[in-house]
Structure 1
Amino acid sequence: MVNPIIRTATEADDTELAELDGRTWSPLHAVMPRPERPYPPFFGERNRPEHILVAEAGGRLAGYIRLVAPTPLACNAHVRQIQGLVVDDAFRGRGVARALLRAACEEARRQGAVRLTLRVLGHNAPARALYASEGFTEEGVLPGEFFLEGAYVDDVLMGRSLTPSHLTPSHLTP
């Protein structure tokens, strides 16, 4: 196990994050085509440093998690959504993803969220197990939502409460 330092990304992380994304691309979790070198900039109009928490270990970026509001609607402002969790292969199985998930929960709470959601590909059993172990429950499935490498793959919707259950409406309790 490593004890990564978790912090908000900065513009200076752009190249290292783009490289990490390129190195870790896999049909197990990616719906976009494999990126090619030179990798495009990581940050852009919809992907800002303030949306990204990075894990540092061994003097380099070990992974990141993207945490955003799922919509710009005021009626949805109580929810945050994880839209990407990546861990460098050298750090897999060493607690980095779990540390990032826990940090994302804390950051979502700090932002006033009471609920955290995500989408995960149905065939990504390791990620689904990790999310379940951190309190996420399956809330829906979009069967065959993606056609990846010759097969239809489900899109699994998962979520969890960020508040004690006695403070959460019953329909939001995991």
Structure 2
Amino acid sequence: MTRIVVGSTNPVKVAATERVAGDLLGATVEGVAVDSGVPEQPRGRAETIAGAENRARRALAAGDADYGVGVEGGVAETDGTPGTWLIMWAAVTDGERLARGGGPSIRLPDDVARRVREGRELGPVLDDRVGTSDVGEGAGAAGVLTGGAVDRESALSHAVAGAFGPFVTDHYEG
């Protein structure tokens, strides 16, 4: 059986990977705590992707697995598009190849974006704004900001599925 290790013990990140890996590979999935190598609140696309890549490599190195998966959420500004955005990236490695996939991007409300630009982390800012605790271990910012239409697990599963693409199809060869 295929074994996958996710570079996080966050239950939402593990569940997002199980959602994809179960369908694609019939795999077993477990989470392991690893350092992302980036700040707790990644800023910008490059830093967010680097966090996902670091988590994937470190997860694979941490255990006897076929694949290491890294999932990272961050915030970024995009040239030509107003606002600050929630972004999600995943990386998958088998030790030889490394592939990446992105999830949805969701614009942050201006007051939330301002507080994040001032140096605060998105999760606690949203917890404060909507009166919750640990929003990142539940519906996540994606769920809060879409009125529940997209929750964090489904948003992250799209990033994970994109990162697994080169491993489960032959469309990337040649």
* Greater strand fraction, Structure 1 or Structure 2: 1
TM-score scaled to structure 2, two decimals?
A: 0.24
The structure where helix makes up a greater share of residues is 2
